């Protein structure tokens, strides 16, 4: 996302009144440029490739192809704020790393909260350097630690790293899945990477960090932890495989 110029936006919704609401809100807030408005996912797909927006406002329920299916198919998607009349797609949306999920009708105040989240994630458009096997010199800050502390539901709890299966980005939160259950903590992926031992945990995707000791197999572009599988992002594949090779005999 651009830091020195206006944030370049695309409005995608099959309903004209819904597009008008987003357009009006953006026109009242400085620092945003509307590049185009699209009535369906096909128009949006073409506009995203040709105009390269920083941020899209995306409806879900559109004719022939849903907004989420279009977003899922993008190789390098822009930041996305979902605008929809349906509540039931929130989890699926956050699995695609959207910035926020706005349920129609939403207020200007709620809209501005979403914009603030988008601005706070400007730096995330440049991928966080993937975790890889340390070469020489100082290793990751957490390399000697067998545990970390995280804020969960207003408490600070200890997470034993040997029990962790994987970390998953869920909106502005991180879901930590352990042998004993799940925890949801308000922390960025970058901060989580900094906490973890670099030789024991690998970021394999913008949304996933896995515990290498829990990996059962790697097949093509998928990592398997028992009956669960995770995609390997193109950005992270090379350093991840280098880390795997460092553990091979």
- 39 SS3 class: coil
First-last CA distance in the chain: 42
What does residue 175 show for φ and ψ, rounded to 5 degrees? -95, 125
Q: What is the pLDDT of residue 17?
A: 96
| pTM, full prediction | 0.52
Q: Which of 207, 208, 201 is nearest to 244 (CA)?
A: 201
Reading the chain (249 residues) residue by residue, the pLDDT tens digits are 444 478 999 999 999 999 999 999 999 899 999 999 999 999 999 999 999 999 999 999 998 899 999 998 998 899 999 999 988 888 788 888 888 899 999 999 999 999 988 888 764 444 445 554 443 333 334 334 688 888 888 788 889 999 999 999 988 889 999 988 899 988 888 889 888 988 889 999 999 999 999 999 998 889 999 889 999 998 898 899 888 888 775
User: Are 127 and 193 spatial neighbours (Cβ–Cβ below 8 Å)?
Assistant: no
List strand residue ranges (DSSP E) for the chain, in order: 7-12, 32-38, 55-58, 79-84, 100-103, 147-152, 155-160, 164-170, 173-178, 181-185, 201-205, 208-211, 217-219, 222-225, 228-231
4, two tokens: 């020195």
Supply the angle between the helices 108-120 and 16-27 in degrees, to the nearest 10.
70
Domains of the chain and CATH, by start: 7-125 (3.40.50.2300), 147-246 (2.40.50.1020)
């Amino acid at each position: 996302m651009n830091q020195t110029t206006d944030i370049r936006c695309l409005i995608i919704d099959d309903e004209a009144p819904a597009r008008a609401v987003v357009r009006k809100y953006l026109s009242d807030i400085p620092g945003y440029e509307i590049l185009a408005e699209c009535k369906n996912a096909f128009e949006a797909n073409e506009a995203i490739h040709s105009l390269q927006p920083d941020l899209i406002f995306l409806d879900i329920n559109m004719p022939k192809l849903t907004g989420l299916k279009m977003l899922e198919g993008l190789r390098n998607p822009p930041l996305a704020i979902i605008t929809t009349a349906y509540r039931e797609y929130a989890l699926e949306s956050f699995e695609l790393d959207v910035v926020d999920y706005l349920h129609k009708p939403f207020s200007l105040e709620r809209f501005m909260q979403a914009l603030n989240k988008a601005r706070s994630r400007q730096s995330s458009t440049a991928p966080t350097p993937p975790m890889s096997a340390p070469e020489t010199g100082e290793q990751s800050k957490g390399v000697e630690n067998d545990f970390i502390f995280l804020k969960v539901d207003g408490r600070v709890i200890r997470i034993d790293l040997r029990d962790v299966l994987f970390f998953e980005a869920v909106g502005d939160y991180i879901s930590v899945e352990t042998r004993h259950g799940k925890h949801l903590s308000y922390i960025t992926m970058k901060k989580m990477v900094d906490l973890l031992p670099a030789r024991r945990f690998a970021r394999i995707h913008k949304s996933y960090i896995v515990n290498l000791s829990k990996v059962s197999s790697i097949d093509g572009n998928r990592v398997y932890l028992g009956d669960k599988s995770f995609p390997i992002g193109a950005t992270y594949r090379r350093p991840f495989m280098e880390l795997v090779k460092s553990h091979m005999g």
